[in-house]
Structure 1
Amino acid sequence: MRKGLASSGRNNGVQLMPIVYSANYTPNPWDGPYCISPIDKSPYSPDLNPIEQLWDYMKDWIGDRYLVAQDRKLSYDQPHEAVRAAWDAILTSILDKQIDLMQARCKAVIDAQGGQPPY
């Protein structure tokens, strides 16, 4: 595949940049002649993403009001209705609490050196 892409690019006047392919054949531009070393940490930290806390709140809200009351079964149209109702049920006080906790969350992640905070 790489040889085919290279010859196709050369035939069309495209200058190709050397790219190292990983085991799943996804190009990795960080390897190769440029020697760029990314930090080996995931850019995704659920502890620093306030929406994750809201998803948990919504999941619990839906479980309490829809799934328990209806023997854990929803009809075809009810999931959309349940998610909309849960989103609308998020109070300003819940959002304010997440904002207030952000500094403590950042400190906990820093103290854990990017790992899982102890809470």
Structure 2
Amino acid sequence: MNAEQYVDILTDGLLPSIEESGIPAGDSIFQQDNDPKHTSKLAQKWFENQGITVMDWPAQSPDLNPIEHLWEHIKRQLNTWDTQQKGVHELWDRVAGEWNEIEAEVCQNLISSLPRRTEAVIKAKGGNTKY
């Protein structure tokens, strides 16, 4: 994916989501990692034009990214299957199925753990943590 594709995704996905949420775009704070397409001049200009604030985010910070922990949850769920998938399509179907079965409590626990994870990253001065 390049910067142009990323901006297209933001336009087609993020803007409608913000609008649907009822939160004014100017009151939105968006979190993303420091992938080059996210920090590109094109993406920065897009956020500026939309009036969306981008949260400052440390580089290489998977401990602070809840989606990384959701993927770990999916991996654990996939490991409970008795049989190996027979190919990429079956794997995709299993991942999609497990994703759809994630309980709200799992997401809420990840959100609730953010202050602890943030403290751990600060204490480690951006280094590795137990998370």
Q: Give TM-score scaled by structure 1 length.
A: 0.57
Larger radius of gyration: 1
Please list every run of at least 4 consecutive aligned residues from structure 1 whose deviation after the TM superposition is greater than 3 angstroms: none
Match of 2:114 among 96, 102, 106: 102
Amino acid at match of 1:102: L
Question: For residue 13 of structure 2, what is the aligned residue in structure 1?
Answer: none
Given the alignment of the two structures, is residue 114 of structure 1 paired with residue 130 of structure 2, yes or no?
A: no
Match of 1:48 among 57, 60, 64: 64
Match of 1:79 among 84, 91, 112: 91
In the TM superposition, what is the alpha-carbon distance from 1:77 to its structure 2 partner? 2.7
Q: Give TM-score scaled by structure 2 length.
A: 0.52
CA-based RMSD:
1.6
Write the distance in 1 (CA, Å) between the matches of 2:115 and 2:88. 41
Unaligned runs of 5+ in 2: 1-57
- The structure where helix makes up a greater share of residues is 2
Unaligned runs of 5+ in 1: 1-41
Larger RCO of the pair (alpha carbons < 8 Å, separation 6+): 2
For residues 46-99 of structure 1, the C-alpha deviation after alignment (integer angstroms, 9 at most, x for no partner) is: 10111111001101111212xxx21x3424531121011110111100000000
Write the distance in 2 (CA, Å) between the matches of 1:54 and 1:98. 8
Write the distance in 2 (CA, Å) between the matches of 1:86 and 1:103. 27
For residues 3-54 of structure 1, the C-alpha deviation after alignment (integer angstroms, 9 at most, x for no partner) is: xxxxxxxxxxxxxxxxxxxxxxxxxxxxxxxxxxxxxxx7121101111110
